[in-house]
Amino acid sequence: MYTKEALLSSNKINPVWPTKASHRFIKKILGTGFKGKIEESGDKFDLLSRVFKKAGGSWRGIFKGGSSKDIDLLKKVIRVAVKRGTLKKKSRLV
């Protein structure tokens, strides 16, 4: 059995967590765009997904054809969430 911490520490996409395709895609964007410096949470991913859909984004567009408009919108939603503090940065141990 995997612990949540072990699953989150891995840079690879894990088939066990997150279970939703939208969460895995958000995790991938966070890993590439923010270099893993953001804390990951299923609740926050659900919130990002709802905001993305309300803003006119389409998960179908992303998963069926990789619509650049939808991907850019999702990146913008994530950037705003980080800027407003909805997504917290990981604490640095110095």
Per the CB < 8 A criterion, the answer to whether 22 and 59 are in contact is: yes
Cα 78 to Cα 73: distance, rounded to the nearest angstrom: 9
Could you tell me the pTM of the whole model?
A: 0.72
Cα 26 to Cα 73: distance, rounded to the nearest angstrom: 12
By three-state DSSP, how is residue 63 classified?
Answer: helix
Q: In 3-state terms, the chain is what percent helix, strand and coil (to 5)?
A: 60, 0, 40
Q: What is the pLDDT along the chain (94 residues), one digit of tens a residue?
A: 455 555 555 555 555 566 788 888 888 888 888 776 888 877 888 899 999 999 999 888 888 887 789 999 999 999 999 899 888 877 765 5
Give the chain's count of helices (H) and strands (E).
5, 0
Cα 18 to Cα 69: distance, rounded to the nearest angstrom: 24
Cα 40 to Cα 65: distance, rounded to the nearest angstrom: 26
